[in-house]
Amino acid sequence: MSFKLAKTLFDSRLMIFLGLAAASFILVQVGYSVSERSQAYVEDSHWLDRTHENLSLIQSLYAAIKDAESAQRGFLLTGTSELEDEFFAAIPRVHGLVARLEQALADNPEQSERMRALKAATQSRLDIAMDILRRYREHGFDSAREEVSKSEGKRLMTEIAEISDVMQSEERRELAERNRSSENSLRRLQSQTILGILISGGLLLLVFAGILRENAQRRRAERTAGRINAQLEESVAQLRRAGTDTRELSQYAGMLQSCRSVDEALTVTADTFHRLLPAFGGSVFLLRPSRDLAERVLDWGEQALPSEAPVPTADCWALRRGQPHSVDDRDGDTHCAHAPRDPDHPAIAVCVPITAHGETIGFVYLSRAVTDADRDIPPEKRPPSRREIAAALVEQLALALSNLKLQDTLRSQSIRDSLTGLFNRRYLEESLQRELARCERRGRPLALLMLDVDHFKQFNDQHGHDGGDAVLSRFAQVLTAHSRHEDIACRYGGEEFTLILPEMPPDGGAARAEEIRAAVEAMVVDNNGRRLPPVTVSIGLSSYPSDGTDPSSLLRAADAALYRAKQSGRNRVVAAGPR
């Protein structure tokens, strides 16, 4: 019995030992498989990222070549120097993309061979474009057109497009294969992990320590579940934040498109930044026309590290480098000179340049305080930076400001006379109707001056168009200098001008006309280093409501008065009314 008991105990211990050994072996194998498959999954993810990057580089290269070709074609058609500048600016971008793509495809012989062909075709296309520009500069448009008509550039662009399509198809094929490989690795990892756990769990149930082992497994499972739940909660929070960011960005872009002025766009910007980055205070700085200083045009929130204003362009790393510059005092980063480090108040700050169509027009500055909670977080566990969302917002702002600037320029060109800078006849007709209606509602008078430079055609014949233009430009300056903010000075046509004087009585209009006449008589005009002879002006005056109640009658009355001033010897002011 003792022998049998000992043998039973021995067999039991042996079974326990064998069970534990087998379970340990299986767990080791599971861990090895998990590690191996995880590494394979990471490698597959790396290859997927590389393939996506290669596709993006191929598409960016083709787009850059097309941009260069479009700029060259636009320059040939219009002669606009900005398009020529865009062409030459695109060349280094094309070369840079070619170099990056060559490096990215270096480990793929087939793609490298296609890349060499694409590089050669690209260089040939750029050479042809530059040769056409050279012909245009040296021999004129016909010579350039002759070279274009050979269609060599078109053939090369077709070849470039075909090679790019083949390369993209190959990358997409590799992308699909790597996706399948990644999915297979993940499925194998899941299968092996589940199988190993089941087998090891079954073996552990056979040993005397099964209950303890089960409890230990339960505790481990709870800890793992806690970590997974925390990770899931963080993932859900990130997804929600990403969804919120996307919605806010979309709404922000839509509102910017509807803005009619820079002030509206800046107000929308402040509200959006406050919603998406509530911990940060911020400012928007816009460059002056001289481009040597950036002036603060907007503030929001509480700045943990206030910036100086105005900011010299050399004092901001973002303006100097053309890319965002981040500062975290926990890491000892380099500060911009316009927002120096404050040892007593550590902060996190970022400057993001406002760049649209290759032109930097200002920057956005954001800052927040480093809290006690921030100090306790080790660098490897810090939450993701919000610099990307700030950059996306600034990108939308840059496009909006550029579009608003373009709209203002186009509107000004549509209502302004290019020589004098005064409003044109079209704007005169619109404004006179509006001002008459306003004065009628308020029961106020209005005066209208019609001005004509005396003997201008004779002056123009004697001193040339340059001299005549100089006189008209200087006359416009005198007219503007003797106008109130609410007055509307217009070039009616040729040497004729008009001045609308809202809420001005007839005697006041006559006094103003006499001031202008005297100022023109004393006006000094220099042109090309020589002083031009003095000129005089004849002025006709009409008043609302005594001389007319609508634009046509007022203009006719002022024109008739001007005619009488001419007939009476010129260089005088004549009011409308009976002779």
Q: Is the same domain home to 518 and 439?
A: yes
The Cα–Cα gap between 501 and 459 comes to 29
The domain that holds 116 is classified in CATH as 1.20.120.1730
Q: Which of 364, 383, 411 is the last residue of a domain?
A: 411
* Same domain? 466 vs 388: no
**Conformational region of residue 455, where left means phi above 0, alpha means psi within -120 to 50, and beta covers everything else:** left
Residue where a domain terminates, one of 170, 190, 208: 208
pTM (2 decimals)? 0.43
Total structural domains within the chain: 3
Do residues 224 and 367 touch, judged by C-beta distance below 8 A?
no
The burial class, CB within 10 Å (0-12 / 13-18 / 19+), for 91 is middle
For residue 323, being part of any structural domain is answered with yes
Asked whether residue 547 is domain-assigned, the answer is: yes
Domain extent at residue 499: 416-575
List C-alpha distances in Å: 445 to 380, 431, 502, 511, 577. Answer: 75, 15, 7, 15, 16
Nearest residue to 352 via CA among 400, 316, 303: 316
Do 348 and 494 belong to one domain? Answer: no
CA distance linking residue 540 with residue 448, whole number of Å: 8
Give the pLDDT score at 503: 94
Which residues are within 8 A (CB) of 546 and not within 5 positions of it... i.e. 6 or more apart?
Answer: 506, 577
> What pLDDT score was predicted for residue 38?
65
**What is the β-pairing status of strands 281-287 and 359-369?**
antiparallel
User: CA–CA separation, 114 vs 99, rounded Å?
Assistant: 14
Give the DSSP letter string of 130-178. Answer: HHHHHHHHHH-HHHHHHHHTT-HHHHHHHHHHHHHHHHHHHHHHHHHHH
CA 45 from chain center: how many Å?
Answer: 32
Same domain, 42 and 84: yes
Radius of gyration of the chain (CA): 39
Distance between CA atoms of 527 and 463, rounded to whole angstroms?
10
Looking at residue 42, its amino acid is V
Rounded distance, CA 63 to CA 102, Å?
17
Instruction: Please choose, from the candidates 301, 250, 243, the residue with its C-alpha nearest in 3D space to the C-alpha of residue 275.
Output: 301
The reply to whether 318 and 444 lie within a common domain is no
| Sheet (strand 537-544) strand order | 488-493, 496-502, 446-453, 537-544, 573-575
Q: Do 406 and 421 sit in the same domain of this protein?
A: no
Tokens 């053939």 correspond to 155
Inside any domain, residue 238: no
SS3 16: helix
Please name every residue paired with 572 in a beta bridge, in sequence order, or none if there are none.
Answer: none
Using CA atoms, how far residue 576 sits from 341, 452, 489, 561, in Å, is 70, 15, 19, 5
Whether 373 and 436 share a structural domain? no
DSSP-assigned states of every residue in 299-322: EES--SSPPPSSEEGGG-HHHHHT
Q: What is the DSSP string of 47-103?
A: HHHHHHHHHHHHHHHHHHHHHHHHHHHHHHHH--HHHHHHHHHHHHHHHHHHHHHHH
Does residue 435 share a domain with residue 378? no
CATH code of 279's domain = 3.30.450.40
Same domain, 533 and 457: yes
Identify each DSSP E strand in 395-487 by its residue range.
446-453
Residue 544 lies in a domain: yes
- 88 touches 81 (CB < 8 A): no
pLDDT of residue 20: 67
End-to-end Cα, the chain, rounded Å = 151
Residue where a domain terminates, one of 148, 176, 208: 208
Residues 75 and 84 sit within 8 Å (Cβ to Cβ): yes
Give the model's pLDDT for residue 548. Answer: 92
| Residue 1 forms part of a structural domain | no
CA atoms of 252 and 248, how far apart (whole Å): 6
Residues 420 and 405 both lie in one domain: no
Residue 273 is assigned to a structural domain of this protein: yes
Tell whether 7 is covered by a domain.
Answer: no
Q: Check whether residue 359 and residue 456 sit in a common domain.
A: no
Token code pair at residue 150? 């050979």
Domain identity same for 107 and 134: yes
Residue 249 lies in a domain: no
Q: Are the C-beta atoms of 567 and 538 separated by less than 8 Å?
A: no
Query: How far apart are alpha carbons 448 and 576 in whole angstroms?
Result: 10
> What CATH number is attached to the domain comprising 492?
3.30.70.270
Per-residue pLDDT of the chain (579 residues; tens, 9 = 90+): 444 444 454 555 666 667 667 767 776 776 766 676 667 666 667 777 878 887 888 888 778 888 877 777 777 777 777 877 787 887 888 888 888 888 888 888 888 888 888 888 788 878 887 877 777 777 777 766 666 666 777 788 888 888 888 888 888 888 888 788 777 777 777 777 787 678 867 766 766 666 777 677 777 777 777 777 766 676 666 567 666 667 777 777 888 788 888 888 888 888 888 888 888 999 999 999 888 999 999 999 888 888 998 999 999 999 999 999 988 888 888 999 998 988 888 888 999 999 888 888 899 999 988 887 777 676 655 555 667 888 888 888 888 888 878 776 666 666 788 889 899 998 999 999 999 999 999 999 999 999 999 999 999 989 888 999 999 999 999 999 999 999 999 999 889 999 999 999 999 999 999 999 999 999 999 988 889 999 999 999 999 999 999 999 999 999 999 999 999 999 999 999 764
Please tell me the distance from the alpha carbon of residue 327 to that of residue 334, in angstroms, as a whole number.
7
